[in-house]
Structure 1
Amino acid sequence: MFFILSKIGEFFVTPLHVALSLAAVGAALSFTRFAAKGRVLAALGVTALLLLSFTTLGELLLYPLENRFPQVADDAPAPDGIVVLGGAIDENLSRLRGGAALTEAGERVVAMVELARRYPAARLLFAGGSGRLFGAAGSEAEIVGRLLPQLGVEPGRVILEDSSRNTWENAVNALALARPAPGERWLLVTSASHMPRSMGIFRRVGFPVVAYPVNYHTGLRPPFSVRMRAADELKLVDIAAHEWVGLLAYRLTGKTDALFPEPEPGR
């Protein structure tokens, strides 16, 4: 039920959808006896659209998420295992076109291959079913299982978790499959913006992991300024809103250990 409600709720809280709804409702009301209120709503909607589309608001919202957990030092101890979260594969496009169609989060799979080569003794686990609400076309794990041997990773070395639909299920199922022993060091690979929520969830289910963030969208903290690239900026706002709303929703439902999880000293 949480999965279904989260997918439906996300549609209504996406900033672009909210702004468009305000503008549309306002425009419609402008032709009724509520014309004054309609003009206010329309103005709010259009203003929001301009801010979302032509400013660095998305980058400003993403920056604290992507920098919450530091990158792992090159001289860090070798891990006993590596968990990679799904979100890197477009399973529907992969089915339609064949092969493995990577999403913008494809760096998760790239990092998995690189880490597998760097740490040949580490166990590998990929957690990813299908996050589609309707018309699931298979699982990410199934596609990754076919892709990794082509990239030089031995098939028998990878544990494939193919039934999880969201990050909570990723963590629960990964814990059951990995069964980490006390004192083992496991890396968690996912997008930097997704890392705070992921770390909070893994801690909540009792799977101690070390953050290995990838797939950054921001560099230095940007000033609030105008950017003439509406499509790019809207995309960043959408990613940031998804994570901030997700942090709140998961905390309210007891699925993370903190509203904005932070690094643990010494890890």
Structure 2
Amino acid sequence: MPLPIGILLTGAGLFFLYRSHLKKARLFILSGMVWLFVFSYAPLGNWLLYQVEQRYAALLSPPKEIRYIYVLGNGHHTDEALPITSQVNKEAIVRLTEGIRLYRLLDGNAKLIVSGYSGLFDPTPHALMQQRLALALGIPKEDIITLSEPEDTQAEAKAARAIAKESPLAVVTSAYHMPRALKWFEHEGLTPYPAPTYHLASIEHPHYLGIFSADALEKSTIAFHEIIGMIWQKVKGV
């Protein structure tokens, strides 16, 4: 990942500086700084992420045959003193909102699937939080399928196969995550309609004048994570 690698290089340089190895210190500190500057450059961060996000077009008009809309899990923090919209993180909200948009375009003739386990630091399953949000946004409880067991995308794909079987299925997730997610679903013998959302890279307004920013570094980091994830899938034969 760009930030850890940059910090590691700079840290190694400081270590060599402490040990009075000036040539090595200069090399590592300069390498760390250049590394961070390169991946914090707005056009590069935007371009890297766009290469991942643009693989699947948005599902603006869903086919009427779709019977299940699977909104993949993301994250939340439980705090009953806050509204549900403040407990579910923004990426999860965008994913669920897209699922609900598709549900309404299908005139309620599809089931909305939400999933996600409780995790290590929060006792409430993410699926339950998404169910609460969907209910608050007017989706009937009988049209929501809540899966609290899946811990990752691979497990979500297995759960989808058990529920949807041969029925047409749409998968909603962040645009950057869609290529890797679909690989898992295809590995389970499913051919879902991709419904990417939460697009972060802009090709129409790329913000080239932003030059260096933490936002660009974040985009580079996300792109790195997904590319490494797809490479790992190939290693596993997915």
Scaled by the length of structure 2, what TM-score is found? 0.88
Q: Is 1:122 matched with 2:110?
A: yes
1:130-149 correspondence to structure 2 within 5 Å: 130=118, 132=119, 134-149=120-135
Return the letter of the residue paired with 2:54. Answer: N
**Hey, what's the Cα distance between the residues in 1 that align with 2:62 and 2:170?**
14
Paired positions, count: 235
Write the deviation string for residues 84-108 of structure 1: whole angstroms up to 9, x where unpaired: 1011x42x25467452423231211
Query: Larger relative contact order (C-alpha < 8 A, sep ≥ 6)?
Result: 2
Q: What is residue 51 of structure 1 aligned with on the other side?
A: 38
Identical residues among aligned pairs (%): 25
**Hey, what's the Cα distance between the residues in 2 that align with 1:233 and 1:73?**
27
Where does the alignment leave 5 or more consecutive residues of structure 1 unmatched? 1-13, 257-267
Return the letter of the residue paired with 1:253. Answer: K
Scaled by the length of structure 1, what TM-score is found? 0.79
Report if aligned partners of 1:191, 1:216 keep a CA contact under 8 Å in 2. yes
Where does the alignment leave 5 or more consecutive residues of structure 2 unmatched? none
Q: What is residue 217 of structure 1 aligned with on the other side?
A: 200
1:11-160 correspondence to structure 2 within 5 Å: 14-72=1-59, 74=61, 76-87=63-74, 89-90=75-76, 92-94=77-79, 97=82, 99-100=84-85, 101-105=87-91, 106-119=93-106, 120-130=108-118, 132=119, 134-160=120-146
**How far did residue 223 of structure 1 move?**
7.4
Q: What is residue 213 of structure 2 aligned with on the other side?
A: 230
**Hey, what's the Cα distance between the residues in 1 that align with 2:206 and 2:30?**
25
Return the letter of the residue paired with 1:129. Answer: Y
Distance 1:94 1:114, change over 3 A: farther
Match of 1:147, SS state, is helix
**Hey, what's the Cα distance between the residues in 2 that align with 1:64 and 1:74?**
24
Q: What is residue 8 of structure 1 aligned with on the other side?
A: none
Q: Is 1:207 matched with 2:190?
A: yes
Report if aligned partners of 1:57, 1:224 keep a CA contact under 8 Å in 2. no
> What RMSD, in angstroms, separates the aligned Cα atoms of the two structures?
2.3
Write the deviation string for residues 105-149 of structure 1: whole angstroms up to 9, x where unpaired: 12111012222222111122112224x5x4243221011122211
Return the letter of the residue paired with 1:99. Answer: I
- Which among 173, 180, 184 is matched to residue 165 of structure 2? 180
Report if aligned partners of 1:52, 1:234 keep a CA contact under 8 Å in 2. yes
Return the letter of the residue paired with 1:86. Answer: G
Q: What is residue 6 of structure 1 aligned with on the other side?
A: none
**How far did residue 78 of structure 1 move?**
3.6
